[in-house]
Amino acid sequence: MLSYVPRFIALSQFFLKMNDKRNIVHIDLDTFFVSCERLLDRKLIGKPVLIGGTSDRGVVASCSYEARSFGIHSAMPMKLARQLCPEAIVVRGDASTYSKFSDTVTEVIKESVPLYEKSSVDEFYIDLTGMDKFFGCEKLASELRQRIIKETGLPISFGLSVNKTVSKIATGEAKPNNQIHILKGTEKPFLSPLSVNKIPMVGQVTYRAFCDLGIKQIKTIQEMPVEMMTKVFGKNGQTIWQKANGIDNTPVEQYTERKSISTERSFDRDTTDVKKLEGIIIAMAENLVFQLRRGNKLTACITFKIRYSDFQTYTMQQKIPYSSADHKIIPVVMELFKKLYQRRLLVRMVGVRFSHLVEGGFQIDLFDDNEKIINLYHAMDKMRDRYGDRAVMRAAGMEAKSIGRWNPFTGAPPPLLPNRRR
C-alpha cells in the first residue's frame, strides 16, 4: 500500500536540493481593507476597526489588530464582534476602492520585478532567483517594500526564503509591517516551534484532527515518518509533511489578469418559448457566477446579448458594485433580458458576459451579505466542487443541460458542446 513512500522521500530530497537555488518573496498587505480605510480617514488610526456589513446580521470582512486583541476575526458575525468590542468602529466596505489600491500596488511590483504572481487582492509571490548574483535578493525585496509604502501609504510585510510555503509562513511571523529573511538551510529550525495551523493548507478541521492526536507544533510532524502521515491523512498527509519540512517546489506563475468570462447558447431551432429562454439564461448566469467564486473573482459589469432569427444582434450592459453573489447578479441579467426581448421575433442565440473582473473573492461581498447567505453559498460551492457543477442548481435552469460548465481560470480551453433542443 505504501510502496511509493521511499520514492516520495527521494523526490522530496531532490526538491530540497532544487530549493537551495531559489529565492522566493511573499508579500502581504497588512490588514488591507482596514489600511485603505485609514488612508481615507486618519481618525481610524490606532482604533479598533471592523470592515463589513453594518447590521447585526452582517459579517466581519476584515478587522484591525486593535480589534483582534478582543478575539475578533474575519467571517465572525458582526453582532458577536460588537459584543466583544463595543467601542469598535464599523465601516461598510467599498470593493472598488480596495481594488484601486490593489491595482496601484500591482503596477509598482510589475515595474520592479521580472516575474510575479498575484495570489489575491492583497498577496503576491515574487521570484528573485538569480538576482542574488547581481543585486542581493533581500536588498531588492526591502527596497521594493519601501517603494510600495512610499507610493501607496499602505503597511506591507514580506518573507524571503527558498520556496512559497516558507515565505508565506515567514510573512505571517514578520507582521505587522516588517520583513524577515529565512536563510537557506534554516527552514526546518524556523518552522519547528510554530503551530501546525501555520501551515497554509491546514484548516480548522485538519487542525482539530492534529490536536486530537496531541500534535500542536510543526516539530512533531517533522519527526514523524511520512508513512504515518499518509495513513492518517491520506495523500494530503504527504503534502503537509513536505510543507512542515520546508519542501515546496511550486513555481511562481506569471500573473495575467483575465478581463472577462462569458457563455453563449445557440439554438438548433429558433424559439419564442419564454420559459425555455429564462431557464437557459438563469442556468448560464448561475454557472458563470459560480466560476467567479471558484476563480476568486468579482465582476462589476454585466452584459447580455441576444440574436434574432434575422441575425440582428443586440447587447445591453449594466455596471454593478463588485460582486460574485447569485442573488445580486442573476436579477440584473434577467432584467437586461426583459429589456432586449421582443416577443414577436424568434430568438436564435443568447449570451451572458461578466467583465471588469478583479481579484478578491467572495469575502469582499461580506460587506452587504449576512452570515446565512454566505454560509449557503459556501455549502453550495462545496457540493459542486465535490459532486460536479450540476449537483446544486436552480430548478428553472435544470433543463439547460448543454451549458458550458468549465472553469475559465485554469487556462484550459472550453469544451465544444453540440446544440440541443433543450
Q: Closest Cα partner for 242 from 11, 4, 6?
A: 11
Give me 420's grid cell: 440541443
* CB contact set of 124 (below 8 Å; sequence gap of 6+): 26, 27, 28, 105, 106, 109, 116, 117, 118
C-alpha torsion 183→188→191→195, nearest 10: 180
Q: How far apart (Å, rounded) are the C-alpha atoms in residues 414 and 287?
A: 14
Phi/psi of residue 253, nearest 5 degrees:
-95, 130
DSSP string, 205-223: HHHHHHHHTT--BHHHHHH
Q: Closest Cα partner for 19 from 251, 207, 240, 356?
A: 251
Give me 187's grid cell: 527552514
Contact by Cβ (8 Å): 356, 299: yes
* CB contact set of 239 (below 8 Å; sequence gap of 6+): 201
81 three-state secondary structure: helix
CA distances from 340 to 86, 214, 351, 353 (A): 50, 62, 12, 15
For residue 194, give the DSSP letter.
S
Pairing of strands 156-161, 179-181: parallel
Question: Is 123 annotated as catalytic?
Answer: yes
Neighbours of 125 (CB within 10 A): 22
For residue 199, give the DSSP letter.
S
Choosing from 37, 111, 123, 359, which is the catalytic residue? 123
Contact by Cβ (8 Å): 307, 378: no
C-alpha torsion 198→204→206→207, nearest 10: 50
Site of grid cell 510554530: 194
Q: Sheet containing 116-120: which strands, arranged edge to edge? A: 116-120, 123-127, 24-29, 156-161, 179-181
Q: Which residues are catalytic?
A: 123
